[in-house]
Amino acid sequence: MSFARHATLVLLAYLPLAATAADGPEHYRLDPVHTRVMFAIDHAGFSKAIGTVSGSTGTLTFDPDDWHSAQLKASVPMDRIDLGDAAWNKATLAGNLLDAEDHPTAEFVSTQVEPLAPDRATVHGTLTLRGVSREVALDVTLNAAKRHPLPPFRRTVGFSATATLSRKAFGIDAWPTVIGDRVELRIEAEAVRSRSDGDDKDATDPPDPASSPADSPPETAPDTTTEPAP
């Protein structure tokens, strides 16, 4: 057997091992521009007040083929709450409610992931809000895991999640006749693969062949992976 043939056989034997080593969880960072928390809470029985919080940051370790290995740590800036009215925002952030001056962020750290389907899981974790920590379960759906079509073309994962919690459980019990206890959460999140995992142009995830140049925004589209200045 020639040396070249022997070397080729050895290389082929090791290729499956190399592919396996490259697989596994990847590291992502939440995109604060395209990650938003929406909450709804009863307003004196008349309606459900709806608010949003933008600008969340955090890290995600994720493998679409192994939800058990997923790990999430997220930080939500309370001063970014928007209920559609400046006076209402100020009252919500006051000391008798969210007390944002002393507790400017809410933190969520996952503790266990329970897969339900290839694109769905229950993510259990600890939510710390207003200095109080409680266990919360998020019902999570994976929307996509692919290279983003806009510059810098990085691999991106997107999720939708819902949860329900009690505000009283976190010590937020003011105005009980006006504000309900049950808080409904809806979260839309995108996370971009960290630079340490590869080059800016992700060769492992080519552009979607279904899209055409006419469907794409101009190349001067802004880089949405960085948080805008406040």
In a domain, 207, yes or no: no
H-helix or E-strand spanning residue 9:
helix 3-22
Q: Decide if 103 contacts 76 (C-beta within 8 A).
A: no
- Against a cut of 0.75, is the pTM above it? yes
> What's the CATH code of the domain at 177?
2.40.128.110
Domain count, the chain: 1
Say how far apart CA 213 and CA 113 lie, in whole Å: 39
Backbone phi and psi for residue 209, each to the nearest 5 degrees, phi listed first: -65, -15
Question: What domain range includes position 164?
Answer: 24-201
In a domain, 84, yes or no: yes
**From first to last of its 230 residues, what are the pLDDT tens digits of the chain?**
554 444 444 334 433 433 333 468 999 999 999 999 999 999 999 999 999 999 999 999 999 999 999 999 999 999 999 999 999 999 999 999 999 999 999 999 999 999 999 999 999 999 999 999 999 999 999 999 999 999 989 999 999 999 999 999 999 999 999 999 999 999 999 999 997 644 444 444 445 444 434 444 444 444 444 443 43
124 occurs within a structural domain: yes
Residue 30 lies in a domain: yes
